Structures are given as structure tokens and as C-alpha cells.
Chain A
């Protein structure tokens, strides 16, 4: 298996532009997570899905952020409009569902976003 795939790996954009980050989870994993990592705040959970349904989006910072999972093999995190404070590394992770019990998460390589 190729693991969790994220694209792009690096994104540089200007303030006010729309940014779309993409994730392909590991096949067969029922859970998908979006995280953001910064030096100041560490690794923060933004939202997670179970079987393509958003379960908890309490970590989404503002209405400018939205996430979708149209099918089991694809998810997007969109920021519109982007701001310099959104600059961070965004990770996607997936996890197999074992009777709903927490098990390990498999992280992708991340997307480094820079908003100028």
C-alpha cells in the first residue's frame, strides 16, 4: 500500500486566494482526519470523518475552512479566503475502524502551506 497520499506537498499562495488540499486515505480505513501543525500550537485536530460522514468539526478554526469527503478514497480541505495566519503544515491521517475502538492513525507526508 502506498500509504496516505496528500497533494500538493507544498503550496504558496497570496492572501485572499482559495486553497484546496487533497488527501487519499489508505484503502479500507474507515476514519479520516485533518490536522494542522504549527510551532506555536503544535498538532491540532481540525475535523474527522467516519465512513465519509463528518463526526467532529469542532477544531475547524473558522467558517473559512471547510472539509468534504465525497467518497471513501478522497477528501479535501478548503480554505477560502486564505490568510497569512493559515500558514502551517496540514496533515491528513487515516485509521481502520475496529469495532469503533481507537487504534493507530497513519499520517500522510503533509502539505506545507504558505500564505503571503
Chain B
């Protein structure tokens, strides 16, 4: 069955450092990979989308890579800030439509 794995343990980093979150998947060939941010008690908020024919995407301090051979995406937050502390969700969708599968998420804590 399709499976998405994200770092199950929380990631703790110091302010100013680069946070790197990992998303691995199996038994799936996604056409789209997305990253969302979720704060406690709130719905997920979209951050970035990358397509299968794209290797890298950037938006301000965020960078996403997509390696379809390794079946892995890396999500980077450069110059991290305490306000970046949240849970980050990886989501996959195929070419068939909008059916989206979400990973369990990784909690990020940025210390001042």
C-alpha cells in the first residue's frame, strides 16, 4: 500500500540555522508533491508545490527538492525563526486527480 514517511521525532534547531525535513514515500508515483504547515488547533496552510518533472522549488526562505528516483523530498527552511515552529506535512497527489495523501508530519521547534 502507499506509504509516506516523515521524521517521527521532533526536530529542534537553533534560530538562524537551516531546518531540513524529510519526506520519503513507497509504492507510489506522485505527479505532485506539496508541503503544508499546521499550527496547533488550526487547519494546514499550503507552502509549496513541486511537480514530478521539477527538481527544486524556492519561495523566500523555503526550498523544496523532489527526487523521484530516491522517492524523497527534502524541505529546507533557511535562517529559521521561532515563528517557524510548527508541524510540517508532506502531501502527494497523482496524475489522476486531486486525491491527496498526507504524511504524519514533523514537528519543528526553533529556539531563540
Contacts and interface: CB of A to CB of B under 8 A. Distances in A.
Nearest to B34: A104
B89 interface: yes
Contacts of B42: 109-110
Interface residues of B, number: 20
Contacts of B104: 42
Contact of B98 (A91, A95, A107, A109): A95
Contacts of A56: 97, 99
Contacts of B34: 102, 104
B94 to A, nearest CB: 9
A108 interface: yes
B93 interface: yes
A65 to B, nearest CB: 17
B46 A48 contact: no
Nearest to B45: A107
B45 A102 contact: no
A53 interface: no
A92 B89 CA distance: 16
A75 to B, nearest CB: 15
A48 B103 contact: no
B46 A102 contact: no
A26 interface: no
Contacts of A33: 98, 100
Interface string A34-47: 01000000111100
A88 interface: no
A102 B49 contact: yes
A104 B98 contact: no
Given A50-B98, A95-B98, 8 more contacts: A42-B105, A55-B97, A56-B99, A91-B44, A93-B43, A102-B93, A105-B46, A107-B43
Interface of A: 4, 31, 33, 35, 42-45, 48, 50, 55-56, 58, 91, 93, 95, 100, 102-110
